Each structure stands twice: as structure tokens, then as C-alpha cells.
């Protein structure tokens, strides 16, 4: 039965699936999940592995970053050596991150930056003192959303759609922000 259902989603157009789904929703009291969710998941499975690169400044397609981050180099190598179908998608802020996931489903991996706007950057006088940097950052009330907000969105998305957490990395130069993001994601992954 599952093979037939899989084949149906593979060979049937999204418009026809929507029509078929709508025709039977009157028999479904819950009506969740929506057909759009299934279509998005189907679409994401056909594009191969995706590294979603979240960063406001660092362009993942420039070679100086490719060699600085091993997970980024791995995706470049897979793409150029045709090991398997993959792509790198660059999003620069929370809104793009959220929109991409809602449109495409979860990627295979995500690499997070913490500071996504000028207001997030810690003044240089705190750079060599982790504790002072942490105290400074904890006092801030940012208007723009950070990579930490993206990590929180990701967790909520995984819980709402009963999905496993994708692979994750944090390439942020902000050590406090990096620790916060990795701590949150690892705690969720380990069920804490």
C-alpha cells in the first residue's frame, strides 16, 4: 500500500493531488496535516542533499570560505565531483530562513551564523573576554532576529511536523552566540 501511495505522489501533478485531497477532506475530522505539507516534503526529497547556509555576509560560494569550513567544502566537493545530487542555499536573515523551510521542507544540513544584522555585532572591546561578551550580549534587546531565533524556529518546526532535526553546524565568529545555538540544538536533539 505504501509503495502505491509513493508512486501516486511521484507521478501525479500537484494540482491533481490537491483536487483529490480536497475531495476526501470532508471525511477527515482532523484535516491535519494539509496537502501542502505533503507536496512540500515530496518536492524536497527530489532535489538531493541541501546545505542551508545562514549568514548575512559570508558568501558560501567564495573559495576563501569554502576552505575555512569543512562542512561547506564537503558540499562543494560533492557538487563538483558529482558524488551525489546536492546544493548549497544561502539565506541571509530570519525571514529568508523561515520562508525557505516553509517552502521547501527541511534541508539535510544547516550551518548557522548568530549575528545577522549590524546591531548583533559585539564591540571589539569584548572580543577577548568571553564572560564580558556574554554579559554584554545578554543585556541586548535586538530588533532584528538572530541565528538563535532561527534555531528556535527550527525546533518548533520539527516539533510541529514531527520531524527529526537536520544535521547542524555553527560557523559564527561570535563564541557566545555559537555556544548558545549549539547548546539549544544539542539539548533538543538529546531530548533535554
Predicted confidence (pLDDT) per residue in 94-144, tens digit: 999 999 999 999 999 999 999 998 888 888 887 888 888 888 888 888 889
Other Cβ atoms less than 10 A from the Cβ of 190: the count is: 7
CA distance 67 to 186: 25
3-state secondary structure of 37: helix
CA distance 170 to 50: 16
**What would the mean pLDDT of 3-24 be, rounded to a whole number?**
74
Domain contains 86? yes
CA angle centred on 33, ends 27 and 34, rounded to 5°: 80
Domain contains 19? no
**What would the mean pLDDT of 71-90 be, rounded to a whole number?**
74
Which pLDDT does position 13 carry in this prediction?
79
CA distance 70 to 81: 16
Domain contains 150? yes
Predicted confidence (pLDDT) per residue in 173-183, tens digit: 899 999 999 99
The residue ranking higher by pLDDT, 79 or 107, is: 107
Domain contains 58? yes
Name the residue among 160, 152, 146, 143 with its Cα closest to residue 183. Answer: 152
Domain contains 33? no
Residue 168: which CATH number?
Answer: 3.40.50
Q: Domain limits at 107?
A: 46-189
In the beta sheet, which residues pair with residue 52? 89, 110
Domain contains 41? no
The half-sphere exposure of 1 on its side-chain side, counting CA atoms within 13 A, is 0
Predicted confidence (pLDDT) per residue in 22-71, tens digit: 776 555 544 445 555 455 555 544 456 888 999 999 899 887 777 777 77
Domain contains 60? yes
In the beta sheet, which residues pair with residue 143? none
φ, ψ of residue 138 in degrees (nearest 5)? -65, -25
Which pLDDT does position 31 carry in this prediction?
43
Which pLDDT does position 124 carry in this prediction?
83
Domain count, the chain: 1
CA distance 32 to 84: 34
Domain contains 98? yes
The residue ranking higher by pLDDT, 153 or 18, is: 153
Cα–Cα distances in Å, from 85 out to 48, 53, 89?
Answer: 5, 17, 13
Amino acid at each position: 500500500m505504501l509503495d502505491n501511495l509513493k508512486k501516486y505522489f511521484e507521478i501525479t501533478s500537484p494540482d491533481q493531488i490537491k483536487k483529490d485531497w480536497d475531495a476526501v477532506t470532508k471525511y477527515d475530522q482532523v484535516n491535519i496535516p494539509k496537502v501542502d505539507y505533503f507536496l512540500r516534503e515530496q518536492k524536497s526529497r527530489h532535489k538531493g542533499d541541501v546545505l542551508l547556509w545562514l549568514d548575512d555576509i559570508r558568501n558560501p560560494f567564495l573559495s576563501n570560505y569554502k576552505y575555512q569550513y569543512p562542512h561547506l567544502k564537503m558540499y562543494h566537493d560533492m557538487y563538483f565531483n558529482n558524488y551525489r545530487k546536492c546544493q548549497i542555499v544561502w539565506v541571509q536573515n530570519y525571514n529568508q530562513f523561515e520562508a525557505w523551510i516553509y517552502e521547501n521542507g527541511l534541508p539535510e544540513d544547516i550551518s548557522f551564523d548568530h549575528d545577522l544584522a549590524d546591531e548583533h555585532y559585539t564591540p571589539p572591546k569584548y572580543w577577548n573576554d568571553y564572560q564580558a561578551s556574554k554579559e554584554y550580549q545578554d543585556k541586548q534587546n535586538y530588533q532584528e532576529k538572530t541565528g538563535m531565533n532561527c534555531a528556535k524556529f527550527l525546533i518548533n518546526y520539527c516539533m510541529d511536523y514531527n520531524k527529526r532535526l537536520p544535521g547542524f553546524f555553527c560557523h559564527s565568529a561570535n563564541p557566545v552566540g555559537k555556544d548558545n545555538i549549539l547548546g539549544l540544538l544539542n539539548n533538543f536533539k538529546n531530548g533535554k
